[in-house]
Amino acid sequence: MSNIPENLKYTKDHEWIKVEGNTAIIGITDYAQGELGDIVFVEIETVNETLNKEEVFGTVEAVKTVSDLFMPVTGKVLETNPKLENAPELVNSEPYGDGWLIKVSIDNTTELNDLLNAAQYKELIGE
């Protein structure tokens, strides 16, 4: 069974978001990393770009597949996780910790209301 922290919000595309004021940390869920398998590369070239909700902000590459990463909310990409350059496997081992992907400034906090809570996300993935 996947680890789905109660204090986060989730997307139907398996991203999580942790809001801290007008800033948010975004990553992929434990369920998503499990489905992808061993992550070998994370590519995010959108730092300093403002992206709309559901736009692609980067990709994660696993042994057998490449998967797009989608913005949970509209905002500006402030930074990427520097640890992932040399250790992309952190997305597998610590998806909610050292395996985070980006930090963003949130343009419109009302978009957070469209995201799933932990119970809704569990239902989405059938757990």
Distance, CA of 106 to CA of 74 (rounded, Å): 6
In the sheet that 9-10 helps form, which strands lie side by side, from edge to edge?
Answer: 9-10, 15-20, 23-28, 102-106, 75-80, 50-51
pLDDT the model gives residue 1: 83
Asked if residues 9 and 17 have their Cβ atoms less than 8 Å apart, the reply is: yes
Structure tokens at 74: 């509209």
Mind listing the pLDDT tens digit for each residue in 32-56?
999 999 999 999 999 999 999 999 9
Predicted pLDDT of residue 112: 96
Question: In the prediction, which pLDDT does 81 show?
Answer: 98
Instruction: Return the CATH number of 9-108, one of 3.30.365.10, 3.90.1150.10, 2.40.50.100, 1.10.1060.10.
Output: 2.40.50.100
State the CB neighbour count (10 A cutoff) for residue 17.
Answer: 21
What is the reported pLDDT for 38?
97
Residue with tokens 């590459």: 61
Give the chain's residues under pLDDT 70. Answer: none
Strand (E) positions, the chain?
Answer: 9-10, 15-20, 23-28, 39-43, 50-51, 56-62, 66-70, 75-80, 102-106
**Cα torsion 109, 115, 117, 118: sign:** negative
